[in-house]
Every structure is written in C-alpha cells, then in structure tokens.
Amino acid sequence: MKEELLRVAARVVDTAASMDICCEAFVQKKRHTSIIIESGKVTFGSMDGDYGIGIRVINGRNTGYAYCDERSIEFGLKQALSVARLSAPGCYGFQDDRNYAGTRSIYDNRVATLVTEDGIDLARDIIEGACYDPRVTPSRGGLSFGTLAYAVANSNGVSVYDEGTFLSGSVMTVLKEDGVMVNGDDSQVSRSRDFSFEEIGRKATEKAIGQLGQQGIETATMDVILRPDAAFDILSNTVLPSLNGDAVRKGDSVYVDKMGKPVAAGGITIVDDARHPKGLNTFATDEEGYPSRRTVLADNGVLTGLLYDTYAAIEAGAKPTGNAMHGDRMETGTTYKVSPSTCARNFILEGETMPEEEMIRGVRNGILVDNVLGAHTANKISGDFSVAIYAGHAIRDGEIAFPLKGGMIGGNMPAMLLQAALADDYRLVESGFSPASGYIPSIKFSGVRVSGG
Amino acid sequence: MIFLIRAVSDALDGRADYYDVRILHVTTTSIEMKNGGVTRAVAGTESGACVRVLFRGAWGFASAPESGKAALGEAADRAARIAKGISETVGEKSELADVEPAVDDVTVPMKKNFMDVPIGEKVDLIRAAHDMIKKYEFVTNDLITYKDTYTVGELYSSEGASVITRMPRVFWQLELAGRKDGQAQSVRRRIGRTSGLEALDDDAPLKMADSAVASLIALLNGKSPPSGPMPVIADPDLAGVFAHEAVGHAAEADLVATGNSCFAGRIGEQIGSDMVTIRDDATLPGMNGSMVYDDEGVKAGNKVLIRNGILNDFIQSRETAAKLGMAPNGGARAESYHGRPLVRMSNTLFEAGDRDFKEMIEGVRLGVYAKGTRGGQVNTAQGFFQFNAQESYLIENGEITKPLRDVSLSGRTLDILKLIDAVGADADTAGVGICGKGQQVPVGQGGPHIRISRCVVGGR
C-alpha cells in the first residue's frame, strides 16, 4: 500500500512539474466493514471503501483544488488550474517541513486482520451484553472496522505516507415498561482492539434501566456536570471553531484579542495533541504532510496558541500547527474530495482532576448530563448554545436523585469554561459535524441555566 | 447493461434470493465564495456502483469505485459472502414486500441546463448576492455556497426492475455573520430545487440576501429569550422543520419496526389535535426532496402520515413494509453508491388550516414567535426533539414587541401535537434541508404558521 500511494502522489507532482505547475497531492484510501444490529438481531453487513486523489495547485497568486482518480491525473491538474483562475488572489504556499522523526499513526494488526465473520461475532457480543435484562431490546446499533491510508507529496519535495486502523461499536437499547419507553445508548471508538463489545451492550442496558422513573425539573440556575460525549458535542460546536487562527484573524471568533488572557479555569490546560497515543486523529502528519505536534492552546487557563493550516499561517504570519484536514462541513472524517482547512485533531483538556463520584458529591442541586440534542445549532462565533437534554439525571445533596424527563441547558461555553472543573473519566469522543476528535473527561460547570420540561 | 447484470449473476452463483445493482454517474460543480473571493470551486464527474444481496433473510452490501464488469463481479462476491455469513446466525429473516418490478426511463427536466453554463458564469451569478451585501458595515463575513449535481442513476434487480433516472439538483446557500456592540450573530438562507438553473431565476438569491440582512439586524439587536414553557408561534419554515424533526423521523418505518419510535403501534390513534395533517410527499415537481423512484426502484409516493390528528401511515422501504404488513410507498433512499438505501423523508409538509396570522398572535399574552431554523435533532424512541430558530421575537399582550436571539425549542412530540391550537392558512413549501441519518440526503419541508400553546423555550 505504502509504495502504491507514494508512487501515485509522486506521479501527480511529476506530471505537474512537466506542466510547470506547483502542486500538492493528497492520495487517500479508506476501507471499512460494517455490521448492523436491528431489533436484537444481526441483519446487515457491508464493505465499502474510497480511493482518490485531491490536487491543489498554486499558480502565481492563485490557488485551486480538484479531485480525480489514478487514471485522470492530468485532467485533475487541469481542473485545479482552471479553478485557480477564479480564486481570490493571495499569498499561497505549500509546506516544506520534513522533520518526521517520532510520531507514527496507530496501526493495530488485530484490527487490520478482522474479517466479516469476526465482525458478526463481535456484533453478537454487543447483543448478548445488552440482553442480560429480558425487558430490554438492543434495537439499533452495530460496529465498524477498517483502515485509512494516505500519502502527501508536493513541489517542495515533501513525500510522506501513513496508515492507521479504526474500530467502533455502538448500540441503543429500548426498554418498555408499563407503557413507558426509555432508551440507553453506549458507544466506543478506538484505534486499537482495546475495548469490550459485550460491555457496550451491557452499559447501554444499564443506562436504559437508569432512565426508568423520569421526572421533570424546575427552571433554574444550577451546577451542571457534562459527561464527555455531551461536553465534546457542545465544545466542538463552540470553542473549537473559535480556536481556529483564521477565524480569530477575521473576527469570527470569541477569542479575538484574548491572547495572554484567561479563557479557561486556572487549573485547566487546553491542548491539541496530534501525537496522542490513543488519538483518533493521531498520524505522522496532518493532511498537508506537516509533521504532527502538540500545540498548547491555553496554559493553565491562559490563551497561548491557535490552530493553523499552511495557508492560514502564511496569511497570519504564524507557523502552521499541523492542523490541515480535508474536512467537509457537517461530516465526520476526511475526504480527498474537498480542500484542506484548519481543524482541531485531538482536543484534550488537562489539569487537576477528581473522581466523578467526588464531583457529584460536591453538588447540592444540579444535573448530570450524558448526551444532548442539537449542539450543532450553537452560535459558532459567540459560543452561545441551547440544547435539549437527551439523557441525564438530577443531583440532590451530592447524590444522583432521578432521571430527567426533557429539559434544556443553555449558556455561553467560552464563558462557562472559566468556571470549569475536570473529572478523571477520560474518554475518546468524536464530533459528529467535523473530523475533530477529543480525549476529555466529565466537566463541571457552575451557574448554568436549565429550562424545565 | 445485460452483460453487467450477467457478470453480477455469475459472481453470485446462486448465493442470492434477491439482488439489486445500482450504478451512478454524478456530475458536479461546487463553488464556495467567501467575502466575494472564490475559496473553493470543484467541477468533476464520478462513477460508482453497488450490489445488495438478500440471502436466506440476511443482507450483504458492497460498493465498487467503478461500474466495470470486473469491479461489479467482485462487489457482488463480497456482498454474497457477507450475506451468507450473517444468514448463518440470523434469527429474524428480512423479506421484501411485493412490488411490480418497474421498467422505466425518467428524465427530470431542466429549463436552464446548468451543464451548458461555464463555471465562470456560475461564479458571476452567485457573486451578485455578495455585491448586494457588502455595503452593510455590520456584516463581517458572507459565505455563499453553490452546488449543482446531475445524477444518472441505473437500478437493476433480480426481479426484473430496470429504472434509469436523470435528476438535476441546484443548491444555493448564504451564511452571513455580523457584529454589533460586541454581539456576534449569524443567519443562513437556502434555495434547493430538483431542477435546472431556473431555481435561481427572478433574483431569488438577491431576495434571500435581503431577508438575511433583515434577520441579522434583528438578531444583532436581540435580547436573551425568556426560558421555560410558554406559547410559541412557528413560521412556515419552522413549522416544516417541526413536521420533519418531530413527526417525520418518528414515522420512518425502520425506526418503528425496531421499537425505536414513539409512533409504534399507534396507527389509527388520535395523537394530535384535529388541526394537524402532516404528509411526506415526494411527488411535488421541483421541491428539494422530490424524486420519481426511490433507490429500490419503487415509485415514490405521497404519504399522509397524520390526517386530522390521527396517525395514518409510515414512510416505508420494501423491507419495513413486509415487516409491518403495510404497503410500500417508495421511501428508501441512499446518499450515494457507498451506502444501502435507508428509510428517509422526501418533502415533509404541515398542511395549512384556516387561521389568520394576526389573529394567532393576538391570542398570546407572553410567548415567542420563532422563524426559520439552524437545525434540530430528535430522540424518536422517547419522542422528544430540540430545534433552534434563526430569528425570534417576544410576543407580549398579543403584539410582537422585541427581537430575541439564540432561541431553542424542545418538547415531546406526542404532547406537542395535542397542544397545537391554531394552524394558519398561509403555507409556504420552500424549506430546504439536508437530513443526516448516517447518510445525508436533500429534503424539502414547509407549512403554515402554527401555534403551540405550551413549548419549552431554552435561553441562558
């Protein structure tokens, strides 16, 4: 695979050179197998993949992007060139840092060698795990595994390849009792075979049982603990886009003029670490071939850094941070079909932590929220959001009191971060609406507006 | 095409009780313009195919990056292997409801063929909206997205279906960001049609830009909304989103059949006030979610989901129709050749009633008038939803008083349907959505003004 992808990338750059064009090639090959669970049964399986080339050219003060396949490289180059004529003139350049010592992607042979039959067995593990309580049906879920490989080459002599593995599983269980229907959701995503599928099912069922006896909650201001999925869902639609250097430069960010000023509670350090040993976006480089690195965005709460791809860095007079991703808006994952732009890779909150139980014990009147609905509707410039509670519990006098029926939480996430505290239950989380991923724990916020149902 | 089908059939070698092959050729132009500069422009064509196999009640699916004989044969073999593997463990067997295999060749017409228009002209066409907006100082950024797609789809099945469709689509979107007194806000407008470039005729983008600027001014002057339960009046666009999020998703028969919908087992039941009639209609020419055949080769229909408050029908694939013992209605759609057809909406519409908008407002002492949407999400199993309005106003003593910002609404579908106490006569069906359910498909939506007597409004 390595030789093949590098050869294709080199061919694009060589062809461009013969046409006297400055170019960057991104060759991407994805493959995955999925198994689907419906109504407690394995019902469907699929194998899918994608293989293509993204070509970016610079012609004088113009730049253009197009995609093609192996048989249409020359056509792709011409397309990119014709598109470049329409572009806004500017200062463009390709990156030339080739210092790739250190980081490699995460490639687990135990994932790479999985076959369909293994997938069916693992899906049955999810079902078995969920069915320990006969009232519960694992109604929808499944798993997916596969590999992603890419090569980048450009006219500055960059030529780099990496590949990695992915594995994920999820299920939603449904519990019906006395005419009331509740559900429980659980999921895991990883680069390695390091989690139990049976446990996904079991946890989903535990969560469904925990939702029996839902009660409404009063409209009030209170402490809110967001578990990792809920927290990242909101963070990735508010804080993450605002940490994009280009957004700050253009005034589209709440962090304009905030460099050196507090943006999080004093004990919290915000990092984007593309080398993290578990990270969903850990690769040797970003998708422009820039070496992966760890960028400290806020050091003990004080804003110290922003994220840049190469074009944005040139415009801002900054250094790239290895955050170029071929991400399409509203999609998880990356694709050669769109040009690269700045995106957080592995977003991490570090600092002093405490066990979640202790955090709950410290709350007199508040709520604990597992998942939310509608985080993508947040105001990405101001960081204001208002979401519905998908699954959560009331906390009374330091103890979990009852599951919540409906209700909403709202606030300004950048402001809320100034009063945040971290638990220690770190977990890998994905953003449903960009390629960004995170490794974060539950977070406690104080004085949050909760609207009762 | 006979030779391709034969290649698939040979590769399957008896390992399929049913199979279908979809072959797609997609031609796209996509342009993104930020503050008048083209930041993305891609024109390209792409082909691919997929094979779906049903064997002993189990499904297998595989895609191929090209539609050649060898690639299709390989995909068929992979799909068959998966189906066979699953069939050995499957408990409940999937079946397909009977349909007369369609043999048809359909071309959805374009008055202005966008394939004949050079990309430079399209850039000029979308630049017009930017030129109009740039005079407003409080607008800090404008982002215009344009995409046209021409999809030639072929579907062949082992039952003898042979359906060729040629479908044009035009999508235009404007996003404005503005700033005033430290407030930052954004608004969005969309045009989406299954038609040619005539979708942008009559200065449609300029009219949209005008209304977006007006919205932005209101938002920048907006106050934080009150929070808690109160009466809400939704405009036609938001009423359409309500029909889509709260009702349409719960009426997707795959969710119903897997115990994942609050509508399960309630056909024939009065679930809403008798003013509520909601349908999902794929047959309206030109609307964003319209289609002639679905991706199983079934004629796409008009499904009346709720009639006068009574739950009447679900959106079906052939598989869910068999499972629920209902009639197929052509609701299975796939985003591309990378995925299997799933039960999806087309154009979801709240039917107009007879009330006057002014009269609806007059009945409210303290409430919110919410317009448009930034999107929403739903939990279909328990039947609750969240959606965010683009623009909102406070209603005090029967009058619209001041603009609000960042208003979200949430509620339980089965409660809210009963709490709809006024439905306007003024329906609009221009709503454009992109619906995600693992795969993204274009949808349409619309309705009249509706009034909900009690809905949770989330503020901060």
pLDDT(A58) > 80: yes
Q: What is the mean pLDDT of residues B257-284?
A: 96
Is B395 within 8 Å of B369 (Cβ atoms)? Answer: yes
| Binary contact (A48, B434; C-beta < 8 A) | no
Distance from B86 to chain A by nearest Cα, in Å?
7
Written as one letter, the residue type at A450 is V
Q: CB contact, 8 Å: B258 with chain A?
A: yes
Structurally, how many domains does chain B consist of?
A: 2
Chain A (142-171) residues lying within 8 Å, Cβ to Cβ, of chain B: none
- Same domain for A77 and A187: yes
| Binary contact (B375, A49; C-beta < 8 A) | no
Chain position carrying tokens 């057809």: B341
Q: What is the mean pLDDT of residues A269-290?
A: 97
- Same domain for B299 and B266: yes
Contacts of A88 in chain B (CB under 8 A): 34, 36-39
Residue B200 φ/ψ, nearest 5 degrees:
-105, 15
- Same domain for B109 and B139: yes
Instruction: Calculate the average pLDDT of chain B.
Output: 93
- Same domain for B249 and B158: no
- Same domain for A232 and A205: no
Give the pLDDT score at A330: 67
Best B67, B86, B324, B384 residue to mutate vs chain A (most A CBs within 10 Å):
B86
Q: What is the mean pLDDT of residues B161-169?
A: 97
Above pLDDT 70, what percent of chain A? 99
Best B31, B32, B38 residue to mutate vs chain A (most A CBs within 10 Å):
B38
Q: What sign results for the dihedral spanned by CA atoms A127, A129, A132, A135?
A: negative
Q: CB contact, 8 Å: A41 with chain B?
A: yes
Give the pLDDT score at B63: 95
In this prediction, residue B2 has a pLDDT band, given cuts at 50, 70 and 90, of: confident
- Residue A293's closest CA among A282, A302, A301? A282
Distance from B82 to chain A by nearest Cα, in Å?
6
For residue A285, is it within any domain? yes
Above pLDDT 70, what percent of chain B? 99
pLDDT(A432) > 90: no
Q: Which range, of A79-88, B230-239, B282-291, averages the lowest pLDDT?
A: A79-88
pLDDT(A259) > 80: yes
Residue that is last in its domain, among A179, A210, A241: A210
pLDDT(B460) > 70: no
- Same domain for A166 and A280: no
Give the pLDDT score at A250: 86
Helical ranges in A371-440 per DSSP H: 413-417
Q: CB contact, 8 Å: A132 with chain B?
A: no
Query: Which of A96-105, A368-377, B430-439 has the highest mean predicted lDDT (pLDDT)?
Result: A368-377
Q: What residues make up the domain containing A97?
A: 2-210
Give the pLDDT score at A329: 67
Q: What is the mean pLDDT of residues B416-422?
A: 97
A–B: how many Cβ contacts below 8 A? 252
Q: How far is CA A23 from CA A65, A152, A178, A323, B373, in A?
A: 10, 11, 65, 19, 40
- Same domain for A204 and A231: no
Chain A (388-407) residues lying within 8 Å, Cβ to Cβ, of chain B: 388, 390, 406-407
CB nearest A67 (choices: B44, B184, B412): B44
Q: Which range, of A202-206, A229-233, B184-188, averages the lowest pLDDT?
A: B184-188
Give the pLDDT score at A271: 98
Contacts of B78 in chain A (CB under 8 A): 47
Contacts of B140 in chain A (CB under 8 A): 250-252
Give the pLDDT score at B426: 93
Give the pLDDT score at A82: 86
In this prediction, residue B438 has a pLDDT band, given cuts at 50, 70 and 90, of: confident
| Binary contact (B259, A65; C-beta < 8 A) | no
- Same domain for B239 and B165: no
pLDDT(B341) > 80: yes
CB nearest B377 (choices: A44, A49, A374): A374
Query: Which of A267-271, B386-390, B405-409, B432-436 has the highest mean predicted lDDT (pLDDT)?
Result: A267-271
Q: What is the mean pLDDT of residues B108-136?
A: 94
Q: Which residue has the higher pLDDT, B166 or B388?
A: B166
Q: CB contact, 8 Å: A414 with chain B?
A: no
- Same domain for B339 and B317: yes
- Same domain for A206 and A232: no
A341 bridge partner residues: A325
Chain A (360-389) residues lying within 8 Å, Cβ to Cβ, of chain B: 372-374, 376-377, 379-382, 384-388
Which CATH number characterizes residue A161's domain? Answer: 3.30.2290.10
Contacts of B377 in chain A (CB under 8 A): 373-374, 376, 388
pLDDT(A230) > 80: yes
Q: CA-CA distance, B56 to B41, in Å (whole number)?
A: 47
For residue A215, is it within any domain? no
Q: What is the mean pLDDT of residues A165-194?
A: 95
> Angle at the Cα of B291 (from B286 to B295), degrees rounded to 5?
160
pLDDT(B368) > 90: yes
ipTM: 0.90
Give the pLDDT score at A138: 95
Structurally, how many domains does chain A consist of?
A: 2
Written as one letter, the residue type at B170 is V
- Same domain for B86 and B40: yes
For residue A117, is it within any domain? yes
In this prediction, residue B459 has a pLDDT band, given cuts at 50, 70 and 90, of: low
Q: CA-CA distance, A120 to A100, in Å (whole number)?
A: 38
Over chain B, what HEC string results? CHHHHHHHHHHHCCCCCEEEEEEEEEEEEEEEEECCEEEEEEEEEEEEEEEEEEECCEEEEEEECCCCHHHHHHHHHHHHHHHHHHHCCCCCCCCCCCCCCCEEEEECCCCCCHHHCCHHHHHHHHHHHHHHHCCCCCEEEEEEEEEEEEEEEEEEECCCCEEEEEEEEEEEEEEEEEEECCEEEEEEEEEEECCCHHHHCCCHHHHHHHHHHHHHHHHHCCECCCCEEEEEEECHHHHHHHHHHHHHHHHEHHHHHCCCCCCCCCCCCECCCCCCCEEEECCCCCCCCCCCECCCCCECCEEEEEECCEECCCECCHHHHHHHCCCCCCCEECCCCCCCCEECCCEEEECCCCECHHHHHHCCCEEEEEECCCEEEEECCCCEEEEECCEEEEEECCEEEEEECCCEEEEEHHHHHHHEEEEECCCEEEEEEEEEECEEEEEEEEECCEEEEEEEEECC
- Same domain for A70 and A153: yes
pLDDT(A274) > 80: yes
Q: Which residue has the higher pLDDT, B444 or B93?
A: B444
Give the pLDDT score at A180: 87
Q: What residues make up the domain containing B241?
A: 228-458
pLDDT(A88) > 90: no
| Binary contact (A451, B228; C-beta < 8 A) | yes
Distance from A397 to chain B by nearest Cα, in Å?
24
Decide: helix, strand or coil at residue A5.
helix
pLDDT tens figures, B21-56:
999 999 999 999 988 888 878 877 889 999 999 999
Distance from A13 to chain B by nearest Cα, in Å?
19
CB nearest A410 (choices: B141, B177, B408): B408
Q: CA-CA distance, B340 to B78, in Å (whole number)?
A: 14
Distance from B114 to chain A by nearest Cα, in Å?
17
Q: CA-CA distance, B34 to B127, in Å (whole number)?
A: 10
pLDDT(A453) > 80: no
- Same domain for B360 and B250: yes
Give the pLDDT score at B67: 82
- Same domain for A272 and A132: no
Chain A (205-264) residues lying within 8 Å, Cβ to Cβ, of chain B: 219, 250-252, 254
For residue A144, is it within any domain? yes
pLDDT tens figures, A335-388:
999 899 999 999 999 999 999 999 999 999 999 999 999 999 898 888 999 999
Give the pLDDT score at B91: 67
For residue A38, is it within any domain? yes
Residue that is last in its domain, among B220, B245, B265: B220
- Same domain for A169 and A38: yes
CB nearest A120 (choices: B89, B94, B412): B89
- Same domain for B57 and B37: yes
